[in-house]
Amino acid sequence: MSKKLEAQEAAPESMSRFEKALNEIMVGDGLRTGLSILLGFVVGAIFMVVFNPDVDYAFSNSPGDILPAIGNTIGAGYGALFQGAIFNPSAGDFVGMISPLTQTLQLSAPLILAGLGVGLGFRLGLFNIGAGGQIMMGLGGAIWVSTRMSMPPVIHMLAAVLAAMVFAAVWGAIVGFLKARTGANEVIVTIMLNYVALYLLTFMLREPYLLLAKGSPGTPKSDAPAATATLPKLLGDQFSLNLGFVFALIGVLVFWLLIERSTIGFRYRMIGLNDSAARSAGINVERTYIAAMAVSAAFAGLAAANQALGLGDGITPSVEAGIGFDAITVALLGGSRAGGILLAGLLFGAFEAGKPAMQFNGVSPEVLGVIQAFIVLFIAAPPLIRAIFRLPSPTEKQLAEKAAAAEAKRQASNARLKKFFSRKGAN
């Protein structure tokens, strides 16, 4: 273990400037993330003000009303976002008041799960942008089991979820295998496999002997999943929130235990810091790439199960809805850490839930897309954030001390667990 710790501590010293910058972007820190979100909302407010006709009229005809017009515009826009995503006080009953929050939780579930998959790859230094293709393969597996097989209620649902994870994991393992055996760049491979998965799923949805809905004229759409395989609603039929959000919370816990509290996660982090140092410490980097990409894709498969089994209708290729690419933003915003990805997924789920309310109040919902884009921009430009807010640049020594402190904390936790289980075995 001492040899491995020495390799980990030496890793930051041997990283190139580009590798250090990429690692800082993909791992991130809480302060920089919070400031990036704040700046994103500021930019969104500027867009709302610049393109609002009331503000334009005040500038041209009534300069004294400029500030009230600006305040009303920003307040109306973000107020509509709050009412559409968190709480609607103007609703007539309690169900209507909390319905926006349940919608946010429902929409955030696949983003969290796919974000966990992408974030796991980031911790290894792998830029996995193939979550979209992995979700599509998971959709195929989940729909096949849920529409073509008959099982008892709970078992049928779990089998469909497992099928989604397995189909996606196999798709992800292909990327890891090509990376390990041929040195193929995972970015190029995952982009290409996204298109392969899209057309493969479309083909399956067009063939009656595969996934095409019974009696369909040929439109690529599947049957609705059997009632025994559908994810149950958590709060009754009046809310859309289903078991998929519980799967997301379980996924966050599993991710945290795997990355932060396990030997496997220690290997992942070592490879992410420096694969050469990890290899010299005795870690089989190539085998780890394959296994890690499979696990990463399995999280995306859970997101696919949420989409396939939680919507209550047959799927089309568009059901992926860009979740795979949004997951990259979620992982970056969350710093590739379990808690951060959970919060980032909730934020982006709130954006999706709040779009209709903003549009109803006369605010273009595309403003939220602008906010997301600028958040990513600021996340990907740490020097820019440091320059705007005059933050100090982290030194090599600080980075090494931070990594050593995290490792010491992990070892102490593992020692407590071993002591607990040794006592339990003795009893």
Report how many domains make up the chain: 2
Q: How far is CA 256 from CA 10, 36, 70, 244, 262, in A?
A: 25, 24, 43, 18, 9
Instruction: Please tell me the distance from the alpha carbon of residue 209 to that of residue 220, in angstroms, as a whole number.
Output: 13
Same domain for 370 and 403, yes or no, is no
Instruction: Please tell me the distance from the alpha carbon of residue 393 to that of residue 183, in angstroms, as a whole number.
Output: 33
Greater confidence (347 vs 406) lies with 347
Same domain for 336 and 421, yes or no, is no
pLDDT-based confidence at residue 216 (cuts at 50, 70, 90): confident
Same domain for 316 and 403, yes or no, is no
Instruction: Please tell me the distance from the alpha carbon of residue 40 to that of residue 18, in angstroms, as a whole number.
Output: 25
DSSP, collapsed to helix, strand or coil, labels residue 233 as: strand
Q: Tell me which H or E stretch contains 303.
A: helix 285-310
Q: Which of 17-26, 235-244, 330-339 has the lowest mean pLDDT?
A: 17-26
Greater confidence (263 vs 383) lies with 263
Amino acid, single-letter form, for residue 24? E
Same domain for 253 and 400, yes or no, is no
- The predicted pLDDT at position 411 comes to 64
pLDDT-based confidence at residue 9 (cuts at 50, 70, 90): very low
| Whether the predicted pLDDT of 11 surpasses 60 | no
Instruction: Please tell me the distance from the alpha carbon of residue 42 to that of residue 47, in angstroms, as a whole number.
Output: 9
Q: Which residues of 359-388 are buried (b: 16+ CB within 10 A; e: fewer)?
A: eeeebbbebbebbbebbbebbbbbeebeee
| Rounded average pLDDT over 15-21 | 56
Same domain for 303 and 343, yes or no, is yes
Let me know: does 143 contact 225? Beta carbons within 8 Å.
Answer: yes
**Structural domain boundaries enclosing 263:** 2-394
Same domain for 356 and 415, yes or no, is no
Let me know: does 189 contact 178? Beta carbons within 8 Å.
Answer: yes
| Rounded average pLDDT over 102-128 | 93
Same domain for 291 and 400, yes or no, is no
Helix 244-260 and helix 285-310, axial crossing angle in degrees, nearest 10: 170
| Rounded average pLDDT over 183-188 | 90
| Rounded average pLDDT over 10-21 | 51
Same domain for 340 and 421, yes or no, is no
Q: What is the pLDDT of residues 378-405, one digit of tens each?
A: 887 888 888 888 877 665 555 556 666 6
What DSSP line would sit under 182-210, residue for residue?
H---HHHHHHHHHHHHHHHHHHHHH-TTT
φ, ψ (nearest 5 deg) of residue 109:
-55, -55
- Which single residue is written with the structure tokens 């005040």? 58
Q: What is the pLDDT of residues 274-293, one digit of tens each?
A: 888 888 888 899 999 999 99
- The predicted pLDDT at position 402 comes to 61
Same domain for 384 and 405, yes or no, is no
| Whether the predicted pLDDT of 18 surpasses 70 | no
Which residues, 6 or more positions from 330, have their beta carbon under 8 angstroms from its beta carbon? 111, 112, 114, 115, 118, 119, 341, 344, 345, 348
Same domain for 384 and 421, yes or no, is no
Which residues, 6 or more positions from 44, have their beta carbon under 8 angstroms from its beta carbon? 77, 367, 368, 370, 371, 374
Same domain for 159 and 35, yes or no, is yes
Same domain for 201 and 336, yes or no, is yes
